[in-house]
């Protein structure tokens, strides 16, 4: 009993210390909203609209060079100085522009893809109309990611018009196969390797200025992606001799697949751990949070075990930042209701976290598949990317440019749970960040790869200014 009272007293003391620590940290509010600049915003909206009107849906494993050459002609009309004064390289529809600077010691790569996903379903406005209405540009690709493609082309166009010469070489990189993880970006990377170019900093899509990145934290925050999770597509197969459904045998293929899914869905298969980048994100966001979250986020030394338990319950996005995930996405069995399948298959997509990477995660899944008498075939797999040093010079440069361009908008490290072309640059660059400098509110997040994709064009001048400032900051 005495020991219990001692432990209880110690717990109360720790809670009191954490509470006092929280109270010493001033609360903050995110005050950033795009500054009114209607002339520029409307001009940029018109350019983005033109880009959206050109349908650049990419089709896996298909030669679409002619399609994208047509899109390049649109870019040439919109950004004539870029095409006149920069060295252009086109490889199978993929683009690389070279802007010679005063030095080649710290090359900068700005990148965003040209292709978009199909626009299915019933849209409020035609998906390739590029309509400008309600303060937004509407259409497929507005937010993913012709907005950032327009913004860095426009930034360079304006700098060229002013006679600016960058301190370091600048490259503009844009693939046409990003949406299906094709070989477009690798071709551009190989071209840079051939030239002996090792970029100092690469800035691609991925993060962005996210409205309310975590429930209870209000306002706009610059979430800067510092690494990507790995990924794999895996097929599981269960086999039997089949038979008539009127006399079913136990442990049929579908039953074994169902038991396998149930075990993974209901048991803690993968380790949960708070990466230092995620911890830094929580510490950055803590002053902006409501008091309960602020108390937790500012005292991770005490609340970390609890946080690891509840994060997956708060949101799927939060849960994906602390563990390998496995989503079941495809399934097939018999072709008839009254026929037992001789073979049933199940498809899954895995995303690997650094503390439990590709090899370890796949080994865990293989052991469970064997337990349920399933064969496992890895269709495609790639491991997580090396994180950017969040205390290093390159990341601090990006943070400084965020502070300069978006006053009142806190910048924070962020874990990319999806995949981008940026991962291909990891081979030749140590500082690959994922950040599109546009505002993604709930509507924009919902519209990416979904219905009614839009971007609020008031944020476009800030995006152009970010790229101009970043070019100037790399010295």
Percent pLDDT > 90 in the chain is 87
Percent pLDDT > 70 in the chain is 100
In this prediction, residue 224 has a pLDDT band, given cuts at 50, 70 and 90, of very high
* pLDDT reported for residue 88: 98
Helix (H) or strand (E) holding 356: none
List residues bridging with 368 in a β-sheet.
none
Secondary structure (3-state) at 170: strand
What residue ranges define each of the domains in the chain, with the CATH number in brackets? 38-228+386-473 (3.40.630.10), 230-271+325-383 (3.30.70.360), 272-322 (no CATH)
List, for residues 347-356, the tens digit of each pLDDT value.
999 999 999 9
In this prediction, residue 2 has a pLDDT band, given cuts at 50, 70 and 90, of confident
Q: Which of 24-28, 162-166, 248-252, 378-382 has the lowest mean pLDDT?
A: 248-252
- The residues near 102 (Cβ < 8 Å, ≥ 6 apart) are 165, 166, 167, 168
Look at the pTM and tell me if it is higher than 0.75.
yes
Secondary structure (3-state) at 239: strand
* pLDDT reported for residue 250: 87
* pLDDT reported for residue 246: 86
Burial (Cβ within 10 Å: 0-12, 13-18, ≥19) of residue 3: exposed
In this prediction, residue 124 has a pLDDT band, given cuts at 50, 70 and 90, of very high
Distance CA 350, CA 383 (A): 10
Q: Which of 256-270, 310-324, 354-368 has the lowest mean pLDDT?
A: 310-324
Mean pLDDT of the 383-398 span: 96
Burial (Cβ within 10 Å: 0-12, 13-18, ≥19) of residue 305: exposed
* pLDDT reported for residue 153: 98
With a cut of 80, say whether residue 314 has pLDDT above it: no
* pLDDT reported for residue 245: 85
Mean pLDDT of the 236-264 span: 92
Mean pLDDT of the 416-425 span: 92
With a cut of 90, say whether residue 106 has pLDDT above it: yes
Mean pLDDT of the 109-117 span: 98
Distance CA 347, CA 330 (A): 5
Mean pLDDT of the 348-374 span: 97
With a cut of 80, say whether residue 7 has pLDDT above it: no
Tell me how far CA of residue 318 lies from CA of 98, 158, 164, 229, 306, in angstroms.
Answer: 38, 39, 42, 13, 14
DSSP 72-112: HHHHHHH-HHHHHHSEEEEETTEEEEEE--SEEEEEEEEE-
Q: Find where tokens 């970006």 sit.
A: 185
In this prediction, residue 155 has a pLDDT band, given cuts at 50, 70 and 90, of very high
For residue 17, give the DSSP letter.
H
Distance CA 416, CA 134 (A): 30
Q: Which of 163-167, 186-190, 309-313, 418-422 has the lowest mean pLDDT?
A: 309-313
């Amino acid at each position: 009993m005495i020991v219990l009272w001692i432990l209880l007293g110690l717990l109360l003391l720790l809670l009191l210390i954490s509470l006092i620590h929280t109270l010493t940290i001033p609360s903050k509010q995110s005050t950033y909203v795009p500054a009114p600049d209607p002339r520029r915003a409307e001009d940029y909206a018109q350019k983005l609209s033109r880009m959206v009107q050109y349908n650049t849906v990419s089709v896996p494993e298909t030669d679409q060079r002619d399609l994208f050459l047509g899109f390049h002609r649109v870019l040439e009309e919109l950004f004539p100085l870029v095409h006149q004064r920069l060295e252009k390289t086109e490889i199978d529809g993929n683009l690389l522009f070279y802007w010679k600077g005063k030095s080649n010691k710290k090359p900068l790569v700005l990148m965003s893809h040209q292709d978009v996903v199909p626009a299915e379903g019933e849209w409020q406005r035609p998906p390739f109309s590029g309509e400008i209405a309600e303060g937004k540009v509407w259409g497929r690709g507005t937010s993913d990611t012709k907005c950032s493609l327009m913004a860095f082309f426009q930034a360079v166009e304006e700098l060229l018009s002013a006679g600016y010469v960058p301190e370091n070489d600048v490259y503009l990189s844009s693939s046409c196969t990003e949406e299906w993880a094709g070989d477009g970006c690798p071709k551009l990377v190989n071209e840079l390797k051939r030239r002996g170019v090792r970029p100092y900093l690469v800035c691609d899509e991925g993060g962005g200025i996210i409205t309310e990145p975590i429930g209870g934290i209000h306002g706009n925050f610059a979430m800067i992606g510092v690494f990507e999770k790995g990924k794999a597509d895996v097929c599981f197969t269960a086999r039997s001799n089949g038979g008539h459904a009127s006399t079913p045998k136990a442990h049929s293929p579908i039953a074994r697949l169902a038991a396998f899914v149930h075990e993974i869905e209901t048991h803690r298969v993968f380790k949960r751990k708070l990466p230092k980048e995620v911890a830094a994100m929580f510490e950055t966001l803590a002053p902006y949070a409501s008091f309960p979250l602020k108390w937790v986020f500012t005292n991770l030394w005490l609340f970390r075990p609890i946080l690891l338990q509840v994060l997956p319950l708060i949101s799927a996005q939060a849960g994906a930042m602390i563990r390998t995930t496995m989503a079941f996405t495809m399934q097939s069995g018999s072709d008839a209701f009254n026929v037992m399948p001789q073979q049933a298959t199940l498809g899954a997509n895995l995303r690997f976290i650094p503390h439990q990477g590709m090899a370890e995660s796949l080994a865990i899944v293989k052991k469970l598949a064997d337990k349920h008498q399933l064969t496992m075939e890895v269709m495609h797999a790639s491991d997580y990317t090396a994180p950017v040093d969040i205390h290093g010079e390159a990341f601090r440069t990006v943070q400084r440019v965020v502070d300069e361009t978006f006053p009142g908008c806190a910048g924070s490290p962020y874990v990319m749970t999806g995949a981008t072309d940026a991962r291909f640059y990891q081979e030749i660059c140590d500082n690959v960040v994922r950040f599109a400098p546009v505002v993604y509110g709930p509507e924009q997040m919902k519209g990416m790869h979904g219905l009614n994709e839009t971007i609020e064009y008031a944020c476009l001048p800030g995006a152009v200014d970010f790229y101009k400032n970043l070019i100037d900051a790399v010295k």
